[in-house]
């Protein structure tokens, strides 16, 4: 934001006070500065907009460079939030830039300033009459035509990016977002018309002396005719680097798409959850990472992110796909009927990669959001089984919130194995897990009351009983702080934004000011 403000103010005063733009300001008034300042901000933000969606570049920075500390990695995990903020700034500056230019053209038409300074207008381009008409300017100049194309593309991109469109009509969002190709093409050529012109001979033609003597221009040596020229287009210099990185990104995605992926196992879990166990040559992953999947039988362009549920120690990688829309419904139907070609791009890093960097970790999953924690818990099981001495984590608190009882079934087996493994090793204290059923009917509640004294839970078969309702987070955070009075606790969420805001506030509330005492660090999965 600071850079945006600096660029706007700097270029506003540059065009509002610069001697070489005196006659241009005389024609356009304040519209000149109000048009050029947003243009500078637009160049900067258009340089930034592509970088947050270069997933491979971000993963390289996040995972390969040891200089990336916890704070930097957390910022990288907010890449999509940054992408949206940059997009909002582009939309705002485009509106200001467009209105200012149109206002300048209208002002020329109404005041007749071009006729009053006829000599300079001829030197500036020789379009004395036609440029006074806004519609003629818009549809007959390079700047006008490309401006219309850019604006229409941007309107479609922004409107189709609204939450309601993304959630319910993802295909509309996906296809209209690729109008960015037209947007950037128009952006590069937008300045080729060089319509904003500055005086080139301001030293020979001193405007302070000559501005009130237009009848002497070209007749006396002190006032030669002013000459004008458009500025060299600079937008391409701002965007060429990010465009290169993005082209490399897409080429890498295509190469990965062409690599063969083999199906190891296909399982249809309860609650319409499809488990795919896949094998790909040279594929290496870490806990909590995700991949993008593409099914050409549905669409060759659509890629959707899925967190992997397998552990790095396994010789395959797996994803659990819940039926949640047209694309997932079609994928489940196709996979159940026949094994279709599957394109895989990734893996990519997320906040959950850092779970083993904390002595104490608090994992919160909502619904299918449990998937990254399945990978983490599996990896822990393998580490204990192999006696891995590098395991720094000494305590894990796991919370899973679900609406349906069937959703617990596919994950309960893993928890049962972990529960047994910890008890056999005398480490029953290592994993504390709580399952919360947020939706139930009276029959389930009555059955649970009858079985309240049973050794295992009536729903999951685990020793830990299922809780009915939502967690009281103040109570949970207070308990964790009490049990770990001098620890740094990493809080990880894969779930809805509303829950993320609640947990982030609780992390701040229950973190001690003294760095030697309990501190909570909030991390959230972002796709």
DSSP of 323-348, one letter per residue? --SHHHHHHHHHHHHS----EEEEEE
| CA nearest neighbour of 402 among 352, 443, 444 | 444
What are the 10-residue block averages of pLDDT along the chain, 527 residues in total?
88 80 74 85 92 85 60 76 92 90 71 47 42 63 85 92 82 88 90 72 71 72 74 84 92 87 83 84 86 87 85 88 82 81 84 80 82 82 72 83 68 71 71 78 55 57 72 90 88 86 90 84 78
pLDDT score for 401: 85
Q: What are residue 261's phi and psi, to 5 degrees? A: -115, 130
User: How far is the C-alpha of 241 from the C-alpha of 220, rounded, in Å?
Assistant: 49
pTM of the model: 0.74
Query: Strands across the sheet with 343-348, in order?
Result: 304-307, 290-294, 343-348
pLDDT score for 114: 44
Name residue 402's beta-bridge partners: 437
- H-only helix segments in 191-303: 207-210, 235-258
pLDDT score for 353: 75
Domain 261-348 classification at class level: mainly beta
User: How far is the C-alpha of 11 from the C-alpha of 21, rounded, in Å?
Assistant: 12
Tokens of 301: 């362009």
CATH node for 352-524 = 3.40.50.80
Please state the domain extents for the chain: 1-54+73-111+129-196+231-252, 261-348, 352-524
Tokens of 436: 């919360």
Tokens of 430: 């290592």
| CA nearest neighbour of 46 among 101, 98, 97, 87 | 87
| CA nearest neighbour of 57 among 187, 250, 258, 245 | 245
pLDDT score for 248: 92
**Buried/exposed code over 440-459 (b: 16+ C-beta within 10 A; e: otherwise):** beeebeeebeeeeeeeebbb
| CA nearest neighbour of 492 among 70, 69, 166 | 70
pLDDT score for 126: 41
């Amino acid at each position: 934001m600071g850079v945006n403000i600096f660029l706007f103010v700097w270029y506003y005063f540059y065009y509002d006070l610069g001697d070489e733009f005196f006659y241009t300001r005389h024609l356009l008034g304040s519209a000149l500065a109000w048009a050029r300042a947003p243009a500078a901000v637009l160049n900067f933000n258009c340089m930034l907009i592509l970088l947050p969606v270069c997933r491979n570049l971000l993963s390289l920075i996040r995972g390969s460079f040891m200089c990336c500390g916890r704070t930097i990695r957390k910022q990288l995990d907010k890449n999509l939030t940054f992408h949206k903020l940059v997009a909002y700034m582009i939309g705002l500056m485009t509106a200001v830039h467009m209105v200012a230019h149109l206002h300048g053209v209208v002002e020329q038409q109404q005041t007749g300033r071009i006729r009053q300074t006829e000599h300079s207008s001829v030197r500036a381009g020789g379009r004395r009459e036609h440029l006074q008409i806004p519609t003629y300017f818009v549809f007959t100049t390079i700047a006008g035509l490309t401006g219309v194309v850019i604006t229409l593309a941007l309107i479609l991109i922004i409107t189709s990016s609204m939450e309601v469109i993304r959630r319910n009509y993802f295909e509309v969002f996906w296809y209209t977002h690729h109008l960015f190709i037209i947007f950037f093409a128009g952006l590069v050529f937008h300045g080729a018309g060089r319509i904003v012109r500055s005086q080139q001979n301001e030293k020979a033609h001193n405007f302070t002396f000559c501005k009130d003597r237009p009848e002497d221009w070209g007749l006396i040596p002190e006032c030669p005719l002013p000459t004008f020229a458009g500025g060299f287009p600079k937008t391409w210099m701002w965007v060429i680097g990010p465009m290169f990185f993005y082209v490399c990104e897409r080429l890498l995605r295509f190469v990965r798409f062409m690599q063969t992926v083999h199906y190891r196992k296909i399982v249809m879990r309860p609650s319409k959850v499809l488990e795919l166990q896949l094998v790909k040559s040279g594929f290496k992953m870490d806990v909590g990472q995700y991949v993008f999947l593409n099914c050409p039988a549905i669409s060759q362009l659509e890629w959707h992110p899925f967190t992997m549920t397998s552990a790095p120690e396994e010789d395959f990688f797996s994803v659990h796909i819940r039926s949640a829309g047209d694309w997932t419904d079609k994928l489940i139907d196709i996979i159940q009927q026949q094994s279709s070609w599957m394109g895989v791009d990734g893996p990519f890093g997320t906040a959950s990669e850092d779970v083993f960097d904390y002595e104490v970790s608090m994992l919160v999953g909502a619904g299918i959001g449990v998937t990254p924690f399945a990978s983490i818990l599996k990896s822990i099981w393998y580490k204990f089984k192999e006696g891995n001495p590098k395991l720094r984590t000494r305590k894990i608190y796991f919370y899973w919130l679900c609406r349906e009882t069937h959703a617990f079934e596919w994950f309960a087996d893993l928890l049962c194995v972990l529960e047994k493994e910890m008890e056999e090793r005398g480490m029953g204290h290592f994993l504390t897990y709580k399952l919360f059923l947020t939706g139930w009917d009276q029959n389930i509640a009555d059955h649970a009351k009858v079985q309240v004294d049973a050794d295992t839970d009536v729903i999951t078969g685990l020793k830990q009983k299922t809780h009915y309702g939502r967690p009281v987070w103040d109570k949970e955070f207070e308990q964790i702080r009490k049990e770990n009075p001098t620890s740094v606790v990493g809080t990880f969420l894969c779930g809805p934004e509303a829950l993320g805001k609640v947990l982030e506030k609780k992390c701040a509330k229950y973190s001690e000011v003294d760095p030697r005492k309990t501190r909570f660090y909030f991390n959230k999965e972002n796709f």
